[in-house]
Amino acid sequence: MASFAHFGPWPPASPVILSVPHAGRDYPQALRSALRVPLAALLPLEDRFVDRVASAARGLRTMLVQTAPRAWIDLNRSEDERDPRVDEGARPTALPIASPKLRSGLGLVPRRASGTAELWRRRFTEAEIAARIAEDHRPYHAALTRALAAAHTRFGVAVLLDVHSMPPLGGASPPRIVIGDRFGRSAASRFVARIEAEAANADIPAALNSPYAGAHILDMHGRPADGIHAVQLEIDRSSYLGARLDQPGPGLPATVALLARIIAALEDEALAPLAQAAE
Q: By CB neighbour count within 10 A (0-12 exposed, 13-18 middle, 19+ buried), where does 275 fall?
A: middle
User: Strands 16-20 and 62-66, how do they pair?
Assistant: parallel
If one compares 245 and 99, the residue with the highest pLDDT of the two is 245
pTM recorded for the entire structure: 0.95
Structural domain spans, the chain: 4-278
What is the CATH code for 4-278?
Answer: 3.40.630.40
Percent of the chain clearing pLDDT 70 (strictly above): 95
Does the structure show a pLDDT above 50 at 261?
yes
Among 61-65, 131-135, 172-176, 265-269, where is mean pLDDT lowest? 172-176
Half-sphere exposure of 95 (CA within 13 A, CB side): 18
How many residues in total does the chain contain? 279
H/E stretch holding 277 reads helix 273-278
For 7-55, what is each residue's pLDDT tens digit? 999 999 999 999 999 999 999 999 999 999 999 999 999 999 999 999 9
For 199-257, what is each residue's pLDDT tens digit? 999 999 999 999 999 999 999 999 999 999 999 999 999 999 999 999 999 999 999 99
Residue 276 confidence class, pLDDT cut points 50, 70, 90: low
Calpha distance 16→86 (Å, rounded): 36
For 169-194, what is each residue's pLDDT tens digit? 988 889 999 999 999 999 999 999 99
